[in-house]
Amino acid sequence: MPVFQRQKANLKIAVILLILLFSACAREPEIKHTNTITIGMAVDAKRLLPLLASDSSSAEISGQIFNGLTKYDKNIKLIGDLAESWDVSADGLTIIFHLRRGVKWHDRTEFTSADVLFTYQTVTNPKVPTPYASNYGPVDKVEAADKYTVKVKYKSSYAPALEAWGMGIIPKHLLEGKDIASPAVNRNPIGTGPYKLKEWVTGQKIVLEAFDEYFEGRPRIDRIIKRIIPDTATMFLELKFGGIDFMGLTPPQFKLQAQTDFFNRYFQKFRYPAFGYTYLGFNMLDPRFSDIRIRKAIAHAVNKKDIIAGVQLGYGTPCTGPFHPETWAYNPNVKDYDYNPDKALKLLTEAGWKLNGSGRLEKNGKSFSFTIITNQGNEARLKTAQIMKEQLKKVGIAMNIKVLEWQAMLHDFVDKKKFEAVLMGWSLSRDPDMFDIWHSSKVKEGEFNFISYKNEEVDSLLIEGRSEFNRQKREKIYRRIHEIIVDEQPYLFLFVPDGLPVLHKRFKGVEKAPIGIWHDFIRWHVPQDKAQWYL
């Protein structure tokens, strides 16, 4: 066939495919199981026991399987979960938890105070590789007064105490004497939560089913399917065609693809600031990044506003430090680093780096080149890295980008400190205590201070902050921490992204609140008149 005829034939095929695609996009999503919610997830979970669930994917699923003694309500107020109530002594050194009666583990065994005591002993066991041991702070003793009463005595006052007991409780009768970190235990969790694990196909899906004897009442949605779809474009197509019901949209998807009549007809859209931030973390063991002038120079060389405009399409705000702008711990007087390449070059020159004839920084015959690592499946982080690469090139720094599978990145690089810089994000606790992230003792493998940050004043303030109950005094402590960390720039704090989740409209009972939309998921339901939607 002549070339022009082949081109004509190919064009005809392309037109037909486009027509079919647009026709498909106009179809109703084909939902096979109306009372199942299928959620798109970019990365697989790692370990599902709550004391080991240190990444967001694992924590989200673990939170459906396990309960803590306490939890946050929709207005970010601490309320009882497995604990029905509690009493705190006048000096703040003793908490007596009164447990709910009749709570069942998924194997129908009764939950008791023995499980709480076992969980505490496990999470504080130095042989258990958990980042959460310090959450229990200055606990002196935990004892089971009786089957439904737990008494906790502290050596000194500890402000985040009630929040700390929100970590999921694990079953003594099943896990005593077991290797807590083993895959056999973490891939077969038994909890007290509203859902129990039914199936886990690595890299493909995790299936949870409703627990009929859940103490707050059986969830009204029968099943949760978490589908692992690393590519956000593929995930969005799955959303439109009924393969998933929920996903967090990227800013381009939200702004450019989710504004159609079709989308508005079938999906609910939400927008609110995420309770977390995106950052570039420097390995402080690297001789270059141990120099504060280098870290400050990079801060001046990166234009955050361009990143928010180019990556987030305006759906986000600049981040100045480790505290969320809407919390009382945030210091409004801390000034962000202005975008100023001249300041950046001045600092780099002071640190001994000079521009060569090719516009590259050199020192002792070596050019300034470093690699950042970030995770696969996060388009915003990759685009952020690409913009930073171009911005740093203007001051003579060559930045390389390495994209890794999530679990491999955490286990093989981050935990082992085999990186120069890492582009990641933190989801924040509602209490401002950040001992686990910033204290110099939290640098062991699997712990959260993987950049190896160390500052004696910050160490002291972190301990003081978690032992002070007076809100005004705590505010002063954390605002000082904010000042110090921003001045030292162990992270380049980039932005607080807006959460942009979308959900199929057949789900009712969804309420947007200060804590988000998932606070009352067990009350979500599909009305009878919608039960035959899209079969």
pLDDT digits (tens, 9 = 90+) for 223-281: 999 999 999 999 999 999 999 999 999 999 999 999 999 999 999 999 988 889 999 99
DSSP 110: B
CATH number at residue 423: 3.10.105.10
Q: Is residue 121 part of a domain?
A: yes
CB count, 10 Å around CB of 16? Answer: 10
Residue 490 one-letter amino acid: P
Q: What is the pLDDT of residue 387?
A: 98
Q: Is residue 208 part of a domain?
A: yes
Same domain, 217 and 150: no
pTM score? 0.79
Q: Are 496 and 273 in contact (CB under 8 A)?
A: yes
Same domain, 449 and 318: yes
Same domain, 471 and 520: no
Counting other chains too, the contacts that 255-259 makes at CB distance below 8 Å and 24 or more residues apart are 255/313, 255/315, 258/502
Q: Are 36 and 223 in contact (CB under 8 A)?
A: yes
Cβ partners under 8 Å of residue 309, min gap 6: none
Same domain, 447 and 521: no
CATH number at residue 159: 3.90.76.10
Q: What is the pLDDT of residue 179?
A: 95
Residues of the chain whose pLDDT is less than 70?
1-28, 529-535
Instruction: Report the number of distinct structural domains present in the chain.
Output: 3
Q: Is residue 3 part of a domain?
A: no
Same domain, 110 and 220: no
Dist. CA 461–CA 484, nearest whole Å? 11
DSSP assignment of 26-89 equals TSPP--S-TTEEEEEESS-----STTT--SHHHHHHHHHH---SEEE-TTS-EEESSEEEEEE-
Its domain, for residue 112, covers 67-172
pLDDT per residue over 127-164, tens digit each?
999 989 988 978 999 999 999 999 999 999 899 999 99
Q: Is residue 185 part of a domain?
A: no
Same domain, 292 and 250: no
Residue the block writes with tokens 């939560």 = 193
- Residue 321: helix, strand or coil by DSSP? coil
Dist. CA 55–CA 377, nearest whole Å? 15
Dist. CA 166–CA 163, nearest whole Å? 5
Q: Are 69 and 103 in contact (CB under 8 A)?
A: no
Same domain, 260 and 325: no
Structure tokens of 187?
Answer: 């891939």
Same domain, 213 and 348: no
Same domain, 87 and 168: yes
Q: Is residue 204 part of a domain?
A: yes
Same domain, 351 and 409: yes
Q: What is the pLDDT of residue 8?
A: 42
Q: Is residue 408 part of a domain?
A: yes
Same domain, 281 and 261: no
Q: Is residue 447 part of a domain?
A: yes
Q: What is the pLDDT of residue 469?
A: 83
Q: What is the pLDDT of residue 29?
A: 75
